[in-house]
Structure 1
Amino acid sequence: MEHQHHEHQHEMPEMKGHDHPQHQERNGMGHGDMGHAGYDHGAMIADFRKRFYVVLAFTLPILALSPMIQHWLHLQIGFPGDRYILFALSTAVFLYGGRPFLTGWLSELKAKNPGMMTLIGFAISVAYLYSAATVFGLKGMDFFWELDTLILIMLLGHWIEMKSIAGASRELELLVQLMPSAAHVLKGDVTEDVKTESLKENDLILIKPGEKVPADGMVEDGESYLNESMLTGESAPVQKTKGQQVIAGSVNGNGSLKVRVTHSGKDSYLFKVIDLVRDAQNAKSNTQLLADKAARWLTIIALLAGITTFVVWISLGHDLAFAMERMVTVIVICCPHALGLAVPLVVAKSTSLSAQHGLLIKNRTAFENARKITSIVFDKTGTLTKGKFEVSRMVFTEGVLKSENELLKLAGALESNSEHPIATGILSEVKKRKLTLPEAAQFKAITGKGVEAVAEQKHIKVVSPGYLKENSISLPVNFKVASNETVVFVLIGEKLAGFVALADAIREESKGAIATLHENGIKSILLTGDNKQVAESVSTQLKMDGFFAEVLPHEKLEKIKELQQQGEFVAMTGDGVNDAPALAQADVGIAVGSGSDVAAETAGIVLVNSNPKDIVNLILFGKATYRKMTQNLAWATGYNVITLPLAAGVLYNQGIMVSPAIGAVLMTVSTVVVAINASLLSIGNKK
């Protein structure tokens, strides 16, 4: 997926000025096409609020002058020309209060895409023209008061609903606001404050304590803890020292950092995420297409039902005013508003929430399909395991050394110059135990077998089991290596001083993640290039449903196909690079641990962290999101099935009548219910 980052370079920090995605998405089903092309979201909310209050001011005199209201309240307010004043006030309400609906109707007609605005525009126009005709000679009773209350409630409903939509997109706005507006660029000894968007690759910037990081980069000097939770979902602050990456938008702790910019603002991880979120919010999934189709049909049904209602009541001998009122009520109550919003509101909320928790949705359909997953295939290294060697145990030879720490110090002294994963694992343990390493001199590599040097006036070697065999050095009694362990031996002279065992440790979260999958009826399968013993060991410890071992990268695709042929709906997790074919073949491809490589091309979903708990969260959140969508669709459809016959007057003989104003209230309530239900969506939502 290509992202056109340059489009957003300058407008990002002021995103409040954007119309919300679902308005464009619904092709005129909402306010996006209401003749307000130049408006931003906040201005549209303010406009509806203002129109509502103006119409409210007109409502009292209109009600007071309406013959029907006077009849109900047993009042007598009459004076010469009162009908013309009522007409003038109602005309003002129709033209000013009804303007958004009338211009929206025109836009929908131009686009040949009739929707909600067509229904409201048609309903208020019929009500106004009929009532105006009664003022100038047509026999019948006007319903100006009904027109006024209908427009009043419609304006209120739109105002409330737009505030709900603004709430659903607030998370995306929060992501935008993560970017600081200024950065401190270091030029020699001078610090210059510049706008964030003017930062270029290779600029050296200073990040002071408590400040937000303005661009992706590499630490050149300093040490601090950074809070990356809003970007990755990782709650614990992450330590950053020289040579480590920092992500734009994360918050610096109490140390100062000098950072070399690696991506300018528009190419930063955060901007890619924002683009991705916006693309996903605008993308139509199958559920969205279903909702759009339903809303289109509802528009046609509403118009046909309204006209049929009018014809039926006229043919039954009722007067024109009554038949008109029934028609207007049917059309208003059937507005496919709730239906049009049922899915987009959930989409906006879920996509933004996901981004904050390090789940980046590139393909809406893949995300919604998470509910169908029956088997999930885990790439082992770096997902279920930590992907790096850690010291699992140490044994020292009594009489030669006094403690584990002494053994570790000697091994660490020799490994301190090496980049090898084993050396990194030993040094990590040294750091954890806060040990001071002795100096090592006369450092020499023993080809393919280990290293040797002089430390603490002793000749030390750190070697593999192969070296011991070759030199006939006997192994300790009861010496056993677990299938997932790698062992190095420490020799003083040629005497065995002990050994250090290292393993790619299983993540603490893995066990819980696999157990949660089982609770949800999802099988977990391990896929690894490691040997059978290692695969079996990890699979057994985590109580997984099976494993594929010694699988080469190009064979992963075949394993996914095998599972699919057995009728499984398969999700695959991989690193997005060598797993690309398998990710593409899987029903749901999840790229993990991609960090700032957001555009892991073949995956439908990218997880910023490699945490298996995130994968489980993703699946459960996908299910919760789909549930919210179906709840909203069921509510919006069910509401119309019940209220349409009532509006048409099927229970008229039982004394049950729904006025246009009550119809508008019911329509507004149904829309607000949909908006509130969408806003209740949260990660970890089980409902």
Structure 2
Amino acid sequence: MLAELTAYQPPHFAGSEWIAPLFGTLVFIYGGRVFLQGAWGELRARQPGMMTLIALAITVAFVFSIAVLLGFPGMPLWEELATLITIMLLGHWLEMRSIEQASGALDALAKLLPATATRVTASGTEDVPLETLQEGDIVLVRPGAQVPADGTVIEGEGSVNESMITGESRPVHKRVDDEVIGGTVNGNGSLRVRVTGTGDATALAGIMRLVSEAQSSRSRAQALADRAAFWLTIIAVLAAILTFLAWSLAGAAPGFTIERVVTVLVIACPHALGLAIPLVVAISTTLGARGGLLVRDRRGLEEARNLDAVVFDKTGTLTLGEHRVIEIATDELDQDEALRVAAAVESDSEHPVARAILTSAMERELAVPGSQDFRALPGHGVEAQVDGRTWRVGGPNLLRQLGVAPPPLIADAADRFAERGQSSVYLIDDTEVRAVFAIADQVRPESIEAVRRLHGEGIEVVMLTGDSRTVAASVAEQLGIDTVYAEVLPEEKADRIRELQSSGKRVAMVGDGVNDAPALVAADVGIAIGAGTDVAVEAGDVVLVRSDPRDVPRIIELSKASYRKMVQNLWWAAGYNIVA
């Protein structure tokens, strides 16, 4: 047929009539093998699809051509068979290449680890292959070098770029006892790191494993595509049978009829359906991983677009899970000066309140002076000399012991703190109360934006906590949370999730993946936050590498975008088949 279309007549010589059958058979066996194997797998799974149609089309063309070669009247289809297989192989290659490119970020993750590491020995250092590192080895990470394995800093300080793992763009300062992740880059400062995980035990390997599992897990959209391919296959086969019967009854030549049958099978083949869903899945899960959103189950990501309510655990999720100075009230003293002096007084104390004051001073980058003559006042507070003056820091018991009363401005502030369930700590100079600090679990700055964005999506925000109603109400007021469940025991959290679901809502639970595991499992979408790089967390459809609540609305946005693209692809993939 190609000779007729091109007006080209190939030369004839002895044996030339066997060239087309020979090469056609080779193309069928070698090039068509992938389709025949795919069809066998589909038929064994009782799920005939595009591979079955292609295999049926090329098998019909091959068998008919063999029959003509053996004397059956008609025109052989060797050229058409070779052309069909070549075109289908090209389409299959494009499909696999697209998916491989979409998953290419996983390969990029694998390349983050260096080929060698600088191991510290008794006699100095030595460069060794990465695979020879063992847990407990000490490695040297120079400025600009990649961290070769997960470990703990035992000497040195530096700023490490973790963006390729966590999605956090700002370098993270690392000092002694801080953990580092294999594959991250040391920006400045030299670090000595004790290896705690190598090979498959590293966070990087765990992230790659999670993404791979997510890409292989099935979703409802994929099931829809499979059903569409199944029915299109059935319809195409029926159409081919009707075509054969119609042209046969019309008296058409066998070759003409077979050509039409093969044409129907090829035109109706839903080949693009094989690309419609996997490509979107590969792109969405890879983009999520690069942004610190690790999808464990695609069904969870798919369901996120339908959420009506998002339930947050309070401690460690909406708040830092660590106490800080939330507010400062002073009479005449500057607030930063009051915090600077209080931090100096508390610098030798191990009390949690002392750590809260010291950490808050460091976060404000205040220069904390030294102190002398530190003395603990059991049950009351502490006392020390700062800049030649005696200062005391303590709670209401210290005021009663000293017999002093705060001025009205500071007393009113302390009453306000108490109403919010926050502790009041006073700074006293000799016998005068100079400042009062509100100490509480600090709300994450990111939580406000996260709640605002969820409200913008029309989603109800719920807070679940074991804290008192006073503390819960204070946090809820700061963030604008719609519903609060306070004084809830860990084992009762799943019941609250089911209570919301019973009212017809689709619910996501955001928790730490450990204490909140039952609630994460009970929710329509479980989101484990605060897991860091501990991707071994079992509960949760999505694991957030960063402890950033703003990643929750990002999950919903990713879910909606993925679903839109899936539906769009399905229509484009199946539309021409339906028309045909």
Question: TM > 0.5 between the two?
Answer: yes
Matched, 1:457 2:388: yes
**Distance in 2 (alpha carbons) for counterparts of 1:635 and 1:433:** 55
Residue of 118, 139, 144 corresponding to 1:184: 118
- Report the AA paired with residue 517 of structure 1: L
Residue of 159, 177, 182 corresponding to 1:243: 177
Q: Once the 2 structures are TM-superposed, how far is the Cα of residue 630 of structure 1 from its aligned partner?
A: 2.6
Q: Describe the shift of the 1:554–1:361 C-alpha distance in structure 2 as closer, same or farther (beyond 3 A).
A: same
Matched, 1:639 2:568: no
- Report the AA paired with residue 130 of structure 1: F
Q: Once the 2 structures are TM-superposed, how far is the Cα of residue 572 of structure 1 from its aligned partner?
A: 0.7
Q: Which moved more, 1:495-504 or 1:367-376?
A: 495-504
CA deviation string 1:195-253 (max 9, x = no partner): 22332222111111112212111111111111111211111111111121111121111
Q: Which moved more, 1:528-537 or 1:169-178?
A: 528-537
- Report the AA paired with residue 623 of structure 1: K
Q: Describe the shift of the 1:296–1:597 C-alpha distance in structure 2 as closer, same or farther (beyond 3 A).
A: same
- Residue matched to 1:390: 324
Matched, 1:262 2:196: yes
- Residue matched to 2:250: 316
- Report the AA paired with residue 150 of structure 1: L
Q: Describe the shift of the 1:207–1:389 C-alpha distance in structure 2 as closer, same or farther (beyond 3 A).
A: same
Do the aligned residues in 2 keep the contact of 1:90 with 1:148 (CA within 8 Å)?
Answer: no
CA deviation string 1:573-618 (max 9, x = no partner): 1111211222222221111101132122222221111211101101
Q: Describe the shift of the 1:437–1:515 C-alpha distance in structure 2 as closer, same or farther (beyond 3 A).
A: closer
- Residue matched to 2:338: 407
Residue of 442, 448, 461 corresponding to 1:524: 461
Do the aligned residues in 2 keep the contact of 1:379 with 1:526 (CA within 8 Å)?
Answer: yes
Matched, 1:625 2:562: yes
Q: Describe the shift of the 1:87–1:441 C-alpha distance in structure 2 as closer, same or farther (beyond 3 A).
A: same
**Distance in 1 (alpha carbons) for counterparts of 2:505 and 2:39:** 44
TM norm structure 2: 0.91
CA deviation string 1:164-200 (max 9, x = no partner): 1211211221221222222111113411222223322
The DSSP-based 3-state class of the residue aligned with 1:500 is strand
**Distance in 1 (alpha carbons) for counterparts of 2:457 and 2:335:** 44
Do the aligned residues in 1 keep the contact of 2:31 with 2:86 (CA within 8 Å)?
Answer: no
**Distance in 1 (alpha carbons) for counterparts of 2:119 and 2:446:** 40
Do the aligned residues in 2 keep the contact of 1:346 with 1:628 (CA within 8 Å)?
Answer: yes
The DSSP-based 3-state class of the residue aligned with 1:139 is coil
Matched, 1:88 2:19: yes
Do the aligned residues in 2 keep the contact of 1:98 with 1:151 (CA within 8 Å)?
Answer: no
Matched, 1:301 2:235: yes
Residue of 348, 364, 371 corresponding to 2:282: 348
Do the aligned residues in 2 keep the contact of 1:414 with 1:440 (CA within 8 Å)?
Answer: yes
- Residue matched to 2:511: 574
- Residue matched to 1:681: none
Aligned runs of 1:53-452 on 2, under 5 Å? 63=2, 66=3, 68-69=4-5, 75=7, 77=9, 80=12, 85=16, 88-89=19-20, 91-96=22-27, 99-102=30-33, 104-106=35-37, 108-109=39-40, 112-113=44-45, 114-131=48-65, 133-134=67-68, 137-398=71-332, 403-452=334-383
Q: Once the 2 structures are TM-superposed, how far is the Cα of residue 459 of structure 1 from its aligned partner?
A: 2.9
Do the aligned residues in 2 keep the contact of 1:197 with 1:266 (CA within 8 Å)?
Answer: no
The DSSP-based 3-state class of the residue aligned with 1:337 is coil
Matched, 1:607 2:539: no
Q: Once the 2 structures are TM-superposed, how far is the Cα of residue 106 of structure 1 from its aligned partner?
A: 4.5
**Distance in 2 (alpha carbons) for counterparts of 1:78 and 1:408:** 95
**Distance in 1 (alpha carbons) for counterparts of 2:65 and 2:515:** 71
- Report the AA paired with residue 281 of structure 1: Q
Do the aligned residues in 2 keep the contact of 1:392 with 1:501 (CA within 8 Å)?
Answer: yes
- Residue matched to 2:482: 545
Q: Once the 2 structures are TM-superposed, how far is the Cα of residue 88 of structure 1 from its aligned partner?
A: 0.9
Q: Describe the shift of the 1:462–1:146 C-alpha distance in structure 2 as closer, same or farther (beyond 3 A).
A: same
**Distance in 1 (alpha carbons) for counterparts of 2:8 and 2:164:** 64
The DSSP-based 3-state class of the residue aligned with 1:236 is coil
Q: Describe the shift of the 1:415–1:323 C-alpha distance in structure 2 as closer, same or farther (beyond 3 A).
A: same
- Report the AA paired with residue 213 of structure 1: V
**Distance in 2 (alpha carbons) for counterparts of 1:134 and 1:357:** 59
CA deviation string 1:337-378 (max 9, x = no partner): 222332222222222222221111222222211122111111
The DSSP-based 3-state class of the residue aligned with 1:158 is helix
The DSSP-based 3-state class of the residue aligned with 1:612 is coil
* Unmatched 5+ stretches in structure 2: none
CA deviation string 1:520-539 (max 9, x = no partner): 22110112223323322322
**Distance in 1 (alpha carbons) for counterparts of 2:523 and 2:11:** 78
Q: Which moved more, 1:560-569 or 1:381-390?
A: 381-390
- Report the AA paired with residue 148 of structure 2: P
The DSSP-based 3-state class of the residue aligned with 1:253 is strand
**Distance in 2 (alpha carbons) for counterparts of 1:421 and 1:549:** 24
Q: Once the 2 structures are TM-superposed, how far is the Cα of residue 129 of structure 1 from its aligned partner?
A: 4.0
Q: Describe the shift of the 1:492–1:292 C-alpha distance in structure 2 as closer, same or farther (beyond 3 A).
A: same
**Distance in 1 (alpha carbons) for counterparts of 2:464 and 2:398:** 32
**Distance in 1 (alpha carbons) for counterparts of 2:540 and 2:11:** 74
Q: Once the 2 structures are TM-superposed, how far is the Cα of residue 155 of structure 1 from its aligned partner?
A: 2.8
RMSD of aligned residue pairs (Cα, Å):
2.6
**Distance in 2 (alpha carbons) for counterparts of 1:576 and 1:112:** 39
Do the aligned residues in 2 keep the contact of 1:97 with 1:152 (CA within 8 Å)?
Answer: no
- Residue matched to 2:532: 595
- Report the AA paired with residue 468 of structure 1: L
**Distance in 2 (alpha carbons) for counterparts of 1:86 and 1:629:** 49
Q: Once the 2 structures are TM-superposed, how far is the Cα of residue 561 of structure 1 from its aligned partner?
A: 2.2
The DSSP-based 3-state class of the residue aligned with 2:118 is strand
Q: Which moved more, 1:446-455 or 1:459-468?
A: 446-455
Give percent identity, aligned residues only: 46
The DSSP-based 3-state class of the residue aligned with 2:550 is helix
TM norm structure 1: 0.77
**Distance in 2 (alpha carbons) for counterparts of 1:94 and 1:254:** 63
**Distance in 2 (alpha carbons) for counterparts of 1:412 and 1:494:** 19
Residue of 488, 495, 507 corresponding to 2:425: 488
Q: Once the 2 structures are TM-superposed, how far is the Cα of residue 288 of structure 1 from its aligned partner?
A: 2.5
Q: Which moved more, 1:458-467 or 1:610-619?
A: 458-467
Do the aligned residues in 1 keep the contact of 2:183 with 2:204 (CA within 8 Å)?
Answer: yes
- Report the AA paired with residue 126 of structure 1: V
**Distance in 1 (alpha carbons) for counterparts of 2:452 and 2:143:** 41
Q: Once the 2 structures are TM-superposed, how far is the Cα of residue 95 of structure 1 from its aligned partner?
A: 1.4
**Distance in 1 (alpha carbons) for counterparts of 2:199 and 2:145:** 16
- Residue matched to 1:555: 492
